[in-house]
Structure 1
Amino acid sequence: MSLRFVTLYVLLQMVFLSTAGYANTTGYDVVTLKNGDIYNGTVAQPRFTLKTDYGVVSIPYARMARLLLGDDGEPDRITTHFGDRFSGELQERELTMLRVLDPTLPVAVEEIREIQFAHRTLRPKIYRAPDIVITQNDDNFSTRVISEELLMTSRDGLKITNSSDIQLLDVVSLNEGEDYLAQITSNDGEIVQGKFTQPAVTVETRFGSRLEIPFAHLSRLALRVNHSGKRTRFLSVLRVNPADLIQDSMRDGSLGPPMIAIGGGSFSRGDLQGDGDSDEKPPVKIRLAPFAIGIYEVTFREYDQFCDDTGRGKPDDQGWGRGSRPVVNVSWEDANAYAEWLSRRTGQRYRLPTDAEWEYAARGGTSSRFWWGNEVLPSRANCADCGSLWESEMSAPVGRFPPNPFGLHDTAGNIFEWVADCWRDNFSAETGNDTPAGDGECGKRVIRGGAWSFPVQEVRSANRWRDFPTRRSDDTCFRLVRELDD
């Protein structure tokens, strides 16, 4: 094939693909094969078709950000430039790479490991996709709910709910998807738990694909939260100033955990109500410098990326699922290794919070037992008697409960969190600054926040627990602090 013909063919394909939904390119697609070969060019495929558990999704080439082909029974995964995630089976079996100055390259899908697509300059278009779906297998995409009425059997009997009255719909799947429990949060704050009597909810994606999602496969449905045409990261009931949000880029272009910058100041640490444990006494005044802390506990998705990059073994998820669930079965040493890896990948300084930093962030500027007050309220946390869908069963995906006044999720319950400090029986030796207690080797490290299997007394903001730094458990994870420049 002559160079002139190849160049003409590439130009003709560019014209063809531009009519399929994009105006021009700002770079090259990168195709990585399973044998390690890497090719740069343009993938000549106008649309990518994925057969999911809920129907077929067809995504225009110009909206593609990443295609990851699964191995050993794992699904294929598509990420779009809007941030949508879909998993399933790619229907195209061969793709063609267009390469300037080189012959065109047909590649069998079975030979591809992943494709990173160049960002495209899109023609302006408004997508009516105000709702967000998260499934049990961690698909996450913007959509529009078609079903107008949802029928639920609650403790009070049959309840007919108009979808326009719903703010959030959470589902926990039990017995490997054979059964489930659901919770509706209405626009006026009413919370109802039960089970839907209809089999599925009908939605339409921003790309025009209509899907039937069984309730047993649904994890969360958030209605009327995506107000812009471009998909943004969904932070449920976000209360923070966007200027305080920090999300560092890694060397490969992927993003680190979202963080909130918190101003420093003084606060009283420990048991302020007089009914806490002895290790929370006496209360002590602490002064802290500004720092940033994770909005969520570190998730399996984030930790698995660390494992893939370093060859580290992935922790067991207890059969609860990975993705957006907080990573469990990680030791204090594992948490520090992740922080060091993230620091290298971003060029910023990440570490575990000190015990004082953690309590300051968890309280969110309050001095009550819990960040929401002194009394137990339903569906504020995941613990053994907190009235949540997951209590005494398993962890909840991050962000399923309202954030505290600082915008942090799950500082009460769900999973204990490692902090930097060595364990001490009380605060009598505290120096009044933010230096972690103890240095070097110590027998036990502090864990904070309570967990899904612990009673509500243990999810108080002042509550402290301890564990061996080498121990891994299904009730312990971590969130990170990012240090701020002076």
Structure 2
Amino acid sequence: MRWWATSIGCVVVLLSTPVMSASVPVVDSGYDVVVLKNGEIYNGAVASPRFDLRTPYGEISVPYGLMRSLDFTALGDVLTTQDGERFTGTLLQDELQVLRALDPTLPVERDAIASISFVKRRTRPQPVLVPDQIWLRNGDRMLAALLTQDLLVKTEDGLTMVNRSDAHIVDLEPMPASDEQRVMIRLNSPGEVVRGELLTRQIMMKTNFGSTAEIAADSIATIAVTVNRGSVPGATFPEPLFFRQVPSLAELRDRLRRGGMGPELVLLRGGRYTRGDATGDTDERPPKVVRLKPFAIGLYEVTFDEYDRYCEITGCAKPNDQGWGRGLRPVVNVSWEDAKRYTRWLSEQTGKRYRLPTDAEWEYAARAGSSSRFWWGDDARSAQANCEGCGSIWDGEKTTTVGKFPPNRFGLHDTAGNVWEWVEDCYHDSFVQAPDDGSAIDKPGCGKRVIRGGAWSFPAQEMRSANRWRDFPSRQSDDTGFRVVRELDP
């Protein structure tokens, strides 16, 4: 094999002969994967001790061994770490050169690179040095130490100062047509909550890489205080009421022919499981043993960002966001027919087979190996999902950004709550005739299609993994969206 070496500023990429492919695996292949904007893909090793990114909240310098991916997008360079952190900004190594084994160095425009996926090195895990986590509105997330000691909140009873030692989860939501920040702070004392307007405008923090940053409060979505176990050697933190996990990382992404990447996907092995609930509603009975083929499913519900891009390319009308905001919120006001058109477009763009999940596939993915009412257990605990009465700042009011709540054991986010999700099947009121292989039930002129998972506007009972509901395939609703499935190559 002939190897090539590319230098990106101080970044040197050892490259093999290019491979043309529309798929970009981000599983451990033994090599870093470098994708160029012309579609060429190289397997090799990126040689650079650190990657420096300028962000709106300061410069971040990430060691090579912690790198997961770099995506060069129209909205900025997106760096993801092996720990699940994400930073958006501008990569400072912007001078590119190709060091070739048998030829002189060849200058290359940095803009030629679309993405780099880094192999996960088998090294001893590094300790997390900071106790907190911060999630931003643009989807960035970071391990951090909150340096701001007090948060000033205007409540119905007057001004309240909340010390960081008393706070556990801080959720922020901007008020429509205002610069006010609504805040809900869950305290370390069980059941105690502070609600009101956050008057603190700037938040200081220290990253896991040692740099400090000042972040505008209106760009922050959530602060989780003292949730990184073992972050301070020898220290004993109180048992957290809610242990925020870093997001799951996609195992597969397909490249779009028009440029950019498709949805983040998780590979599921399938196999035998029991769908339904013997004590549930009549349309969840009788419990049925099915055997599924392996498939890949969306890590998140399809977002406005993803759907809006499809609309811009195809010329279809963008759906209404209800005034809640677009971006990383799940797309709503899309019918089953709209969702089907989107999956067909993904198939055309990638050359792969995208579709909606079947009813059986969806329940398998949502259960994640569990047999309980919800993937986490039988009780609808607080801070697990966005639903009516689930204890979040969005309860009964609106959607929140995808990935806000912990993933299930398969790594999937928001299979319970946030928005209902369209699936492939025509609605039937029992499982008596359900196929043993988990394929979709369909019939000509189907009047209603199945939706799954509950939503922000429904109580926890509707989020049960076995619960099924239905709607007209042409209906658009502010509490219904979808996620995609991609069939695997034989």
The 2-side partners of 1:227 and 1:481 are apart by: 34
The 3-state SS of whatever aligns with 2:286 is strand
Name 2:199's counterpart in structure 1.
197
Q: Distance in 1 between matches of 2:98 and 2:394?
A: 47
Query: What is residue 470 of structure 2 aligned with on the other side?
Result: 465
Q: Does 1:147 align with 2:148?
A: yes
**1:355 and 1:446 in contact (8 A); partners too:** no
Per-residue displacement from partner, 1:123-161 (whole Å, max 9, x unpaired)? 865441343222001112222323333333344544443
Distance 2:87 2:69 in 1: 11
In structure 2, the CA distance between the partners of 1:455 and 1:249, relative to structure 1 (3 Å rule), is: closer
Q: Which amino acid in the other structure matches residue 478 of structure 1?
A: F
Aligned to 1:23: none
Question: Does 1:112 find its partner at 2:121?
Answer: no
3-state SS of paired residue (1:257): strand
Q: Judging changes above 3 Å, is the alpha-carbon distance between structure 1 residues 183 and 69 closer, same or farther for their aligned structure 2 residues?
A: same
The answer to whether the Cα contact below 8 Å between 2:227 and 2:244 also exists between their aligned partners in 1 is: no
Per-residue deviation, 1:63: 4.3
- Which whole-Å deviations, capped at 9, do the CAs of 1:303-335 have from their partners, x for residues lacking one? 569969xx7679658362334x33435443565
The yes-or-no answer on 1:289 pairing with 2:298 is: no
Contact 1:132 1:142 in 2 (8 A): yes
CA change 1:208–1:237 in 2 (3 A) is closer
Structure 1 residue 417 displacement after superposition = 1.4
- 2:394 aligned residue: 390
> In structure 2, how many angstroms separate the alpha carbons of the residues matched to 1:482 and 1:438?
19
**Corresponding residue for 2:224?**
222
Give 1:395 deviation, angstroms: 1.2
Q: Which sits farther off after the overlay, 38-47 or 471-480?
A: 38-47
Give the residue type in structure 1 aligned to 2:479: D
Q: Give the corresponding residue for 1:352.
A: 357
In the alignment, is the contact (CA less than 8 A) between 2:297 and 2:483 conserved in 1? Answer: yes
Q: Is 1:153–1:159's contact at 8 Å kept on the other side of the alignment? A: yes
- Contact 1:43 1:96 (C-alpha < 8 Å) held by counterparts: no
Which of 324, 330, 334 lines up with 1:326 in the alignment? Answer: 330
Question: What whole-Å deviation, never above 9, does each CA across 1:268-296 have from its counterpart, x for those lacking one?
Answer: 468x6xxxxxxx65874322336699796
CA distance, structure 1, for counterparts of residue 114 and residue 434 of structure 2 = 51
> Taking structure 2 as the reference length, what is the TM-score of the superposition?
0.66
CA drift of 1:409 comes to 5.8
What is the one-letter code of the residue matched to 1:298?
Answer: E
Alignment of 1:477 with 2:481, yes or no, is yes
Q: Counterparts of 2:365 and 2:121 in 1: how far apart (Å)?
A: 44
Match of 2:273 in 1: 264
Given that 1:69 and 1:77 are in contact with CA atoms closer than 8 Å, whether structure 2 keeps it comes out as yes
Structure 2: how far apart are the matches of 1:482 and 1:362? 19
Shift of 1:219: 1.2
After the TM superposition, which of the residue ranges 182-191 and 198-207 deviates more from structure 2? 182-191
CA separation in 2, counterparts of 1:476 and 1:299?
11
2:58 to 49, 55, 59: 55
Residue 396 of structure 1: CA displacement?
1.3
* Structure with the higher helix share, 1 or 2: 1
**How far apart are residue 471 of structure 1 and its match?**
4.8
Task: Spell out the pairing of 1:62-141 with structure 2 (5 A cutoff).
Answer: 63-71=66-74, 74-109=75-110, 111-116=111-116, 118-119=118-119, 126-141=127-142
Paired residue type of 1:222 = A
Change (3 A) 1:166 1:358: same
Question: What is the 5 A alignment of 1:375-414?
Answer: 381-383=385-387, 388-391=392-395, 393-401=397-405, 410=414, 413-414=417-418
C-alpha separation in 2, matches of 1:161 and 1:387: 19
- TM-aligned CA deviation for residue 445 of structure 1: 1.0
Deviations 1:217-261 (A, max 9, x none): 1112234444489xxxxxx7589xxxxx99754578996237697
User: CA offset at residue 162 of structure 1?
Assistant: 3.7
Distance 2:49 2:409 in 1: 46
SS in 2 for 1:352: coil
Partner of 1:143, secondary structure, is strand
Residue 55 of structure 2 aligns with an amino acid whose one-letter code is T
State the AA in 1 paired with 2:330: P
Contact 1:131 1:223 in 2 (8 A): yes
CA RMSD of superposed structures (Å): 5.4
* Contact 2:356–2:423 (CA under 8 A) maintained in structure 1: no
Q: Which runs of 5+ in 1 are unaligned?
A: 1-5, 16-25, 230-235, 240-244, 273-279
Superposed displacement of residue 118, structure 1: 4.9
Q: Is the 8 A contact 1:66 1:114 kept in 2?
A: no
Distance in 1 (alpha carbons) for counterparts of 2:230 and 2:103: 41
Partner secondary structure for residue 198 of structure 1: coil
Instruction: Give 1:213 shift.
Output: 1.9
Q: Given the two structures, how large is their TM-score scaled by the length of structure 1?
A: 0.66
Q: Please tell me whether Structure 1 or Structure 2 has the larger radius of gyration of its CA atoms.
A: 1
Asked if structure 1 preserves the Cα contact closer than 8 Å seen for 2:133 and 2:224, the reply is yes
* Equivalent in the alignment of 2:212: 210
How far 1:82 moved relative to its partner? 3.9
Question: How many residues were matched structurally?
Answer: 434
Could you say if the C-alpha distance between residues 338 and 163 of structure 1 is closer, same or farther in structure 2, counting changes exceeding 3 Å? Answer: farther
Matched to 2:149, the amino acid is E
What is the CA–CA distance in structure 1 between the aligned matches of 2:461 and 2:185, rounded to whole Å? 26
Spell out, residue by residue over 1:374-404, the C-alpha distance to the aligned partner (whole angstroms, 9 max, x if none): xx98766545676642245431123545778
Letter in 2 for 1:209: S
Classify 1:299/1:177 alpha carbon distance in 2 versus 1 (closer, same or farther; 3 Å).
farther
* Cα distance change, pair 82–392 in 1 and its aligned pair in 2 (3 A): closer
In 2, distance between residues paired with 1:65 and 1:285?
44
> For 1:79, what is the secondary structure of its paired residue?
strand
